[in-house]
Structure 1
């Protein structure tokens, strides 16, 4: 059996490098390369030898600065469409685009449920989400019998070396004596579970729209408690700050990012093969012990 040849467009990305590490378990089955798509040099690269292009290049939502708006569209939308067109023209059979749950807008507030089902219509609330959605729409039209398009809308991704909110929660769990006990639910995706999902999508030569997530919805304070436990720290979960956080959540965006609600209905994330390799407890353990 010949090895699947995979090209990752977006060098040194967290998802790309983690995926390379994940499939290195099967050296006889996969050959993976990554290239930078900054500048113009990538256009000279011959894509014709690859079975799949995994496009992970993009600008994350690090700022609401309106000056960055053009850059979001230039990188997240225009570059994605350009790379997909080249992949198709060079005879690649499958193009995988990493979109985001952010196409559905912001998290629901504290005590406000936000459940995404198959009937939920995307409603991005910022240029980052909108640029991802427009990229999806731009590449869909390229699909035909010879060129399969896969769009993945993951929730928050976490694991060893991940940035963003998980890293902040991890730090908080290690230093704080107490943490707010708020009943919220969030969909999350451990990096190795994502790696296995992408591997199966490639193996099965899939096309379509996918919503992978971990098998369990996560309560933020429970995740913090598990992180603290890995580090043999004791943290008390308390409700005394909840009324204040409720009020702050209407004015401070980061409060809703941490304690708000945003989940995929579990049925949306079922796949014909098992990709949810690790449960929450083990995922936290692997993330923390590896990064300690």
Structure 2
């Protein structure tokens, strides 16, 4: 089967492309950085996997127009090519942020969408176009909403947290007891492969997440264990730390309100729908195993 992938240079693409090649798929990388892709013959493919997109800018320096141009308009253009092509599946990587910036309880696919950022809004509007389009017979569209993806080579808050723990710096946010879902890149690749090859999986929206949510305190403890350090959890007043983050919004500090929210919010995501569709009880990599693999990659650098 030939698979056409956009956004192959990103973290997910760098892992998914070799994974699929190892499975003996014929993988074609399609660059959509400019309009030249429109003149290419992209019709002779079995599956489109659309990874390309504008990621959430935590520094908030990007204009709303940029998000909608890339995340919504480009997705619609590529999807319209899919409708005319021989491909049977269109897999669009959206985000849980397309429907909820914060979560009360556990996030399911049925939640009422309330995206508050241009990033989330642009992803959601692309989703709506795909869902509201009448599909020709024999075609499927999968909208994937992954939570925080991690794996070897991944950068971001997880890497920053590792550096804090590895240096023996106490974790000052232990008073914020929370639980958060993660997604290992290994489970992501497994799910994509399984969906493409299972004719019983219906078109629709599917959350991608590991089977278990972990608290930041549990994560810090895991980071410490892999680093051969004793976990240092400081239970400092939430009010005081919120004040520090507010100062960080005005002057450049390691902690600002956006980062504090990401590190301490509850964000639990259900993966029950995709597991039911695939008829699997659990994913191949546990949340702890996946995180430990990622953490060890930080240690090897």
Aligned partner of 1:14 in structure 2 is 11
Corresponding residue number in structure 2 for 1:178? 170
What are the Cα deviations for residues 203-255 of structure 1, in whole angstroms up to 9, with x where unaligned?
Answer: 11442110121011111121122122112122212213444236667982321
Match of residue 122 from structure 1: 113
User: Which residue pairs with 2:146 in the alignment?
Assistant: 154
Change (3 A) 1:65 1:85: same
- Partners of 2:264 and 2:240 lie apart in 1 by 12
Query: Quick check: 78-87 or 45-54, which moved more?
Result: 45-54
Distance 1:221 1:5, change over 3 A: same
With over 3 angstroms needed to count, the CA separation of the structure-2 counterparts of 1:125 and 1:202, relative to structure 1, is same
Measure the CA separation in 2 of the matches of 1:118 and 1:287: 27
Q: Which residue of the partner structure matches residue 213 of structure 1? A: 209
- Cα RMSD, aligned residues only: 2.3
2:293 matched to which residue of 1? 286
- Structure 1 residues 67 and 100 mapped into 2: Cα distance closer, same or farther (>3 Å)? closer
User: 1:64 offset after TM fit, Å?
Assistant: 5.8
SS at match of 2:208: coil
> How much has 1:45 moved relative to structure 2?
2.2
Of residues 34, 52, 64, the one that matches 1:39 is: 34
Q: 1:61 is paired with a residue of what secondary structure?
A: coil
- Spell out the pairing of 1:83-122 with structure 2 (5 A cutoff): 83-107=78-102, 113-122=104-113
Q: Secondary structure at the match of 1:120?
A: coil
What are the superposed Cα offsets for residues 259-284 of structure 1, whole Å, 9 maximum, x if unpaired? Answer: 01111245345333446211122112
Larger mean Cα displacement after TM superposition, 262-271 or 188-197: 262-271
| 1:212-291 superposed matches below 5 A | 212-245=208-241, 252-265=257-270, 267-271=272-276, 272-274=278-280, 276-291=283-298
Q: Which residue does 1:192 correspond to in 2? A: 186
Give aligned pairs, total: 283
1:56 maps to which of 51, 55, 59: 51
CA distance 1:237–1:67, change in 2 (3 Å)? closer
Q: 1:48 to 1:189 in 2, by over 3 A?
A: same
Aligned to 1:225, the other structure's residue is in SS state: helix
1:85/1:142 contact within 8 Å kept: no
TM value normalised by structure 1: 0.88
Indicate the larger mover: 141-150 or 129-138.
141-150
Structure 2: which 5+ residue stretches go unaligned?
247-255
Q: How far has the Cα of 1:168 moved from its partner?
A: 1.8
Larger deviation: 175-184 or 144-153?
175-184
Q: 1:216 to 1:165 in 2, by over 3 A?
A: same
Aligned-partner Cα distance in 2 for 1:133–1:210: 13
| Structure 1 portions without partners, runs of 5+ | none
**Contact preservation (8 Å) 1:177, 1:234:** no
Asked whether the equivalents of residues 46 and 90 of structure 1 are also in contact (C-alpha less than 8 Å), the reply is: no
In the alignment, the residues of structure 2 paired with residue 148 and residue 11 of structure 1 have an alpha-carbon distance, to the nearest angstrom, of: 22
Q: 1:175 to 1:63 in 2, by over 3 A?
A: same
Checking the alignment, whether the CA contact within 8 Å between 1:103 and 1:130 is kept in structure 2 is: yes
